[in-house]
Amino acid sequence: MDSSGIGEATARRLAADGHRLLLGARRTVRLDRIVTEITAAGGTAAARRLDVTEAADVQDFVAAAAERYGRVDVIVNNAGVMPLSPLEALRTEEWNRTIDVNVRGVLHGIAAALPVMRAQGGGHDVNLASVGAHEVSPTAAVYCATEFAVRAISEGLRQEAAGDVRVTLVSPGVTESELADGIADPAARAAMRTYSAVALPASAIADAVAYAISQPPEVDVNEIVVRPAASVQ
């Protein structure tokens, strides 16, 4: 997860629904605060530092969840970055970081959780993408490419794991989060401020995740796109 925005809102919503959580992100101070507040409210949660770009780290994270709770019923792959810039800016390090987090991070989550879910006879993989998985805009070519990839990976997993593992892709429109804080390109950062003038609360995306998870075992909600009602994008 991320330790703010959609990740935090989803953790709080799922804990309120009675799910037992293991939260993972790089910023452990914020994770620990969330766990403390969830626990104080009567929920069950623990935290562990997690870098989704490291396959072994994700493997250890899922193994820790299985050891703590006996099962891994749901994994929410939510970590993401969005360093927008025009391709001609040649920010190749940003491109590689975006691919590492947004694509490899999801693949690492699947690789860690899928064998566990297969062995236990079921599970649910929830991948967070974006409306960028459905459209492309200037300065967002690389970001959208990664989100298209997450959509394709999710659909491939759905077909391959049908009957054992449910798969849901949630694609948020503009949502209140820190995702845009990593935009270094001045023009792209200014454009995003205008684009995000109308934004969803992170709780709206948490509600979508909770809805998909709450369906009976024979129901697989495959894709949810959530946009602000006033959005024309």
**How far apart (Å, rounded) are the C-alpha atoms in residues 101 and 107?**
10
- Which residues on adjacent β-strands are paired with residue 22? 46
**How far apart (Å, rounded) are the C-alpha atoms in residues 213 and 211?**
6
The token pair at 139 is 């300065």
**How far apart (Å, rounded) are the C-alpha atoms in residues 131 and 173?**
5
DSSP character for 20?
Answer: E
Is 69 in the active site? no
Cβ 201 vs Cβ 174: under 8 Å:
no
Cβ 184 vs Cβ 94: under 8 Å:
yes
The token pair at 213 is 């998870």
Could you identify the residue written with the tokens 């490899």? 104
Cβ 124 vs Cβ 165: under 8 Å:
yes
**Helix (H) and strand (E) counts in the chain:** 8, 6
List the catalytic residue out of 69, 143, 195, 211: 143
**What phi and psi values does residue 49 have, to the nearest 5 degrees?**
-65, 140
Instruction: Give catalytic residue positions.
Output: 143
